[in-house]
Chain A
Amino acid sequence: MMPISDLHKKRRGRNVAIAAILFGLVALFFFITIIKLSSVPA
């Protein structure tokens, strides 16, 4: 197994953060859509 350098750790941290932001945005737009749709009068 290759040794993990500080560079790898920082890149992994950034990748995890980007993944979390992307999944967060998906969830965010899902909930916003649900709330907006539920507030539209039938």
Chain B
Amino acid sequence: MSDTAISNAYQTGPADEAFEASVGDYIALLKPRVMSLVVFTGLVGLMAAPGGIHPFLGIIAVVCIAVAAGASGALNMWYDADIDAKMARTARRPIPMGRISRENALSFGIVLSVGSVSLMGLVTNWLAAGLLAFTIAFYAVIYTMVLKRRTPQNIVIGGAAGALPPVVGWAAVTGSLAIEPLVMFAIIFMWTPPHFWALGLFREGDYAAAGVPMLPVTHGAKVTRIHVLVYSLILAPLGMAPWIMGFAGGLYGAVSAVLGALFVYYAVRLVLQPGDRTAKALFGFSLLYLFGIFAALLADILLRGWL
């Protein structure tokens, strides 16, 4: 399909059988790759919480977090279909390709949102359900509709939505909030800007073409690289906070220290050797960092009493 056809397809809707949506198209609406990180951090929040939850209900709670994340993705794709069509990274999504109409994506997102929040409330408690509803609303309304097209601080503030899953997981078990899940929230919140700015650095042309005011577009690559370094310098010690505050053990402390130091190394390299190569390296490592420290936290919880 040509670029022009892609940019027009989402407006005209399904035209013939070639555009009939498959199950895979609906799965693509859920942004499965983003979902994996959300599910993992939500699971760690749930496992870290004191007290217990029936294993089956715990699994359902994690599934609710996953479905809510998917619903947020579908609502994001519904609203952003016009700019998705202009960016190479997103032009092959189901709506720009004309395989799913915007109306269907909106309905799909709303049904999954209501379903996941209701099920979370019935299975665990209504604090967890309320936090889950807030997460979806924050991502779909505050980030997607309000911030994304208006300010280069879009992903700084919008990052709160992606940082909430461990808090939701914790609340699902305890029915309350505590400092531990808020520290997990803070880590993801501080991780989000350097992660997305690294992406923005090597996808700057895409964002500029779509009119999305990402920091590299509005303030240039040099300012963005400095921002990435500053956030990395805050993130590295913050990542060690669970160990410093005493709710994670030495294993977590060691892993978070090494990964934090590496994060700063990649950020320094980005500043000293500007270019797509170092930006891509930092972007890739940032994914490893978040998985790594939450995996270390999970291992720390599971091995508690053994070490």
Q: Do A and B come from one complex?
A: yes
Whether B54 and A39, one on each chain, are in contact in the complex, defined by CB atoms closer than 8 angstroms, is yes
Residues of B within 8 A of A35 (CB): 54, 56-57
Interface SS, B side: helix
CA A15 – CA B304 in complex, angstroms? 46
| Contact status of A7 and B23, CB under 8 A, knowing A32-B122, A32-B123 | no
CA A17 – CA B108 in complex, angstroms? 14
User: Is B20 interfacial (CB-CB < 8 Å)?
Assistant: yes
Whether A32 and B60, one on each chain, are in contact in the complex, defined by CB atoms closer than 8 angstroms, is yes
User: Is B22 interfacial (CB-CB < 8 Å)?
Assistant: yes
Q: How large is the interface on B (under 10, 10 to 19, 20 to 34, 35 or more residues)?
A: 10 to 19
Shortest distance between the CB of B83 and any CB in chain A (Å): 27
Whether A10 and B54, one on each chain, are in contact in the complex, defined by CB atoms closer than 8 angstroms, is no
Whether A13 and B56, one on each chain, are in contact in the complex, defined by CB atoms closer than 8 angstroms, is no
Other-chain residue from B20, B21, B22, B57 in contact with A32 (beta carbon distance below 8 A): B57
Whether B60 and A11, one on each chain, are in contact in the complex, defined by CB atoms closer than 8 angstroms, is no
Whether A14 and B22, one on each chain, are in contact in the complex, defined by CB atoms closer than 8 angstroms, is yes
Residue-wise, chain A 6-40 has the 8 Å CB interface mask toward B (1 for contact) of 11001101100100000000001001100100010
Residues of B within 8 A of A10 (CB): 20-23
Other-chain residue from A5, A13, A31, A39 in contact with B22 (beta carbon distance below 8 A): A13
Q: For chains A and B in complex, what number of residue pairs have CB atoms within 8 angstroms?
A: 30
Residues of A within 8 A of B57 (CB): 32, 35
- Can you offer 7 A-B residue contacts whose CB atoms are under 8 A? A5-B17, A6-B18, A11-B20, A14-B22, A17-B26, A31-B56, A32-B60
Interface SS, A side: helix
Shortest distance between the CB of A34 and any CB in chain B (Å): 9
Shortest distance between the CB of B34 and any CB in chain A (Å): 21
CA A14 – CA B27 in complex, angstroms? 11
Closest residue of chain B to A15 (Cβ to Cβ) is B23
CA A11 – CA B26 in complex, angstroms? 12
Shortest distance between the CB of A11 and any CB in chain B (Å): 7
Shortest distance between the CB of B21 and any CB in chain A (Å): 7
Closest residue of chain B to A35 (Cβ to Cβ) is B54
Known: A6-B20, A10-B23. 13 other contacts (CB 8 A): A5-B17, A6-B18, A7-B20, A10-B20, A10-B22, A13-B23, A14-B23, A28-B60, A31-B56, A32-B57, A32-B122, A35-B56, A35-B57
Whether B56 and A6, one on each chain, are in contact in the complex, defined by CB atoms closer than 8 angstroms, is no
Residues of A within 8 A of B56 (CB): 31-32, 35
Smallest CB-CB A-B distances: 3 pairs: A7-B17, A10-B22, A10-B20
Shortest distance between the CB of B150 and any CB in chain A (Å): 37
Residues of A within 8 A of B23 (CB): 10, 13-14, 17
Closest residue of chain A to B54 (Cβ to Cβ) is A35
CA A31 – CA B60 in complex, angstroms? 11
CA A7 – CA B18 in complex, angstroms? 7
Residues of A within 8 A of B54 (CB): 35, 39
Residues of B within 8 A of A14 (CB): 21-23, 26
Closest residue of chain B to A17 (Cβ to Cβ) is B23
